[in-house]
Amino acid sequence: MVTTPAERTRAGRLRLPWWVILIAAVVAAVALVIALGGFSDVPESKLPVVQLGDSVDGGEVRASVDRIYLSPTRPMSDLDAEVGIQYLVVEATLENTTNRPNSFQYDVVRVALDGVIEPTTQTDALIELRSGQQVSFLQSGLAAEVAYIWQIDSADAAPGDEIFAGIFDRYRVANDPIFGDTAYTAPTPIARISTEIGEAP
């Protein structure tokens, strides 16, 4: 069959080398992942595993999870939990490693407790263990001992139960956000801890 010059030109335009198609597919996949908040869905087994007390450096905050326990009383207060409720407490040390005040602290540590707390669930409260006050921001270069607190049903967890804690980071994607857009990705896990829930100190 004889093809005209126009047909040959059209066919040549439609056939791209396989490696061009592959590169385009990879770029599209990465762009989609970034649009959905970064690689926050990386399987837990792929994350570095650290132990209680180990320090993990993020882009803005150096963090360690020091202790996880259940308590009938809210830390740094005499406030007892309501009947049928207990406090899950994660004590951590946070240090803002930037040269400016930082407000990422609520998202640095999260936990996964099977059927009770999802890893996307932010803490109910975050207090500074020296003063008992809510942590509104982290001062530059000053380590703070804090407690992340969740209220859960008393029947949902007991000392000795397995729990996972994650240390999270975020990544700058724009220097000058516009129209209300954020300059950062969603919180992204960078390390995990598998341990058992302890008892109140």
The mean pLDDT value of the chain amounts to 82
Torsion sign, CA atoms 35, 37, 38, 42: negative
The answer to whether residue 105 scores a pLDDT higher than 90 is yes
- pLDDT value at residue 179: 55
The answer to whether residue 6 scores a pLDDT higher than 80 is no
The answer to whether residue 192 scores a pLDDT higher than 90 is yes
pTM of the model: 0.74
The answer to whether residue 182 scores a pLDDT higher than 70 is no
Q: Using one digit for the tens of pLDDT, what is the confidence trace for 81-101?
A: 999 999 999 999 999 999 999
Task: Categorise residue 38: left if φ over 0, alpha if ψ from -120 to 50, beta otherwise.
Answer: left
Using DSSP, state whether 7 is helix, strand or coil: helix
The answer to whether residue 197 scores a pLDDT higher than 90 is yes
- pLDDT value at residue 91: 97
Q: Using one digit for the tens of pLDDT, what is the confidence trace for 30-75?
A: 444 444 443 344 444 578 999 999 999 999 999 999 999 999 999 9
- pLDDT value at residue 201: 82
